[in-house]
Amino acid sequence: MEEVEGLKYIAAALSIGLGAIGSGIGEGMIAAKALEAIGRNPEAGGKITPLIFVTMAITESTAIYSLVVSLIILFG
């Protein structure tokens, strides 16, 4: 049964590791575009800043799904 235990850990690690790639790239793009927009129009900074957090939270959700899967594998 130790192979199964080892495979569990490998599966959990792979799940979160691969899932975080897409989320990281996406959030970086969000931040870049947002900063570009603020640089082009500094007055809109007050409106854009809360939206940054909201969009980042939604983009992060796919990474969270893979995190939950890995937690379920580890602890469930």
Partner 1 sequence: MELNISLAPEILFKIGSFPVSNSFFWMVVVSISLMILILTIRYKFKQVPGRTQAAFEILIEGGLDFVQSIIEDKDIAKKVFPLVFTLFLFIMLANLITFIPGSAVVLESGEGKVSLFRAVMSDYGIVIVMTLVAVITAQIVAIISFGPFGYLGKYFNFSGMKEFFSELFRGKLKFGLLAQGFLDIFLGLMDIVGEIAKIVSLSFRLFGNIFAGEVLGMVMLFLMPWFLPLPFQFLSLLTAVVQAFVFAVLTLMFISLALKIDDEDLNEKATV
Partner 2 sequence: MEIIKALGIDNYWVLIAQFVNLAVLLFVLYKFAYGPMMKMLDERSAKIAEGIKDAEKANKKLEETESREKDVLNKAKKEAKKIIAAAEEIAEKNKAEILENSKMEADEIFRKAEEKIEEEKNKLREELKKETIELVMMATEKVLKEKIDSDKDKEIIEKVVKN
SS3 state at 76:
coil
CB closer to partner 2 out of 59 and 66: 66
Size of the site for partner 2 (CB under 8 A): 3
Nearest distance from residue 46's CB to partner 2, in Å? 25
CA distance 29 to 19: 16
The secondary structure of 41-55 as a DSSP string is: -GGGHHHHHHHHHHH
Q: What is the DSSP letter of 67?
A: H
Candidate segments 16-24, 36-44, 57-65, 68-76, binder of partner 2 by CB under 8 A: 68-76
Q: Interface residues with partner 2 (CB under 8 A)?
A: 72, 75-76
